[in-house]
Structure 1
Amino acid sequence: MELRIKDVLKEKKVTVVSLAGMIGIAQPSMSNIVNGKSMPSLETLEKIATALEVPFTELFEQPKTGTVSLSCPHCGKSITLKAE
């Protein structure tokens, strides 16, 4: 499962440092979450969504571009599919 937190931060013009401060976690921990190096708890995801003023589901949705990115379950490589 890939999170869209980094995309939402860009859309909202919010930095990782300020988001970490808003929800009360250390900046290195927030960086790991944003960069996909650590999976946050549901409670933390709810705090992130609230701080960014977005629906919880927006942290998971793919952008509406006609493409879908998946990870190969065997090797972990990213696979992008484009709808025509």
Structure 2
Amino acid sequence: MIDRLIIKEAMKRNGTSVNEVADKMGISRVTLSTHINGNPSTEILLRIADAIGCPVTELFEQPKKDSVSLICPHCGKSINIKVE
């Protein structure tokens, strides 16, 4: 699941700002914010990760060790599965 806060945390960890990422991507800050707050495509996520200087997996919510959370493709609800 993509979370705009995770993307912003990744920017902070890698010492870059929204403006710097937008400049590296060749887009405006507003366009980048629209992508981050919407449902960015895989291509956009790869470009964001490249501009930040991190692996694209860093932009996704990491599952908890004792459970896995999936999103139902039909209804969009979160499904939590306990891992033993």
TM-score normalised per structure 2: 0.60
Matches of 2:76 and 2:63 in 1, distance apart?
Answer: 23
Gaps in structure 2 of 5+ consecutive residues: none
> Against the structure 1 CA distance between its residues 74 and 40, is the aligned structure 2 distance closer, same or farther, given a 3 Å change threshold?
closer
Q: Which amino acid in structure 1 is aligned with residue 62 of structure 2?
A: P
Identity %: 36
3-state SS, counterpart of residue 41 of structure 2? coil
3-state SS, counterpart of residue 54 of structure 1? coil
3-state SS, counterpart of residue 32 of structure 1? helix
* Deviation for aligned residue 1:5: 6.0
- Structure 2 match to 1:40: 41
* Deviation for aligned residue 1:30: 1.7
Higher relative contact order (CA 8 A, sep 6+): 2
Q: Which amino acid in structure 1 is aligned with residue 21 of structure 2?
A: L
Gaps in structure 1 of 5+ consecutive residues: none
TM-score normalised per structure 1: 0.60
Q: Give the RMSD, CA atoms, in angstroms.
A: 2.9
- Structure 1 match to 2:9: 10
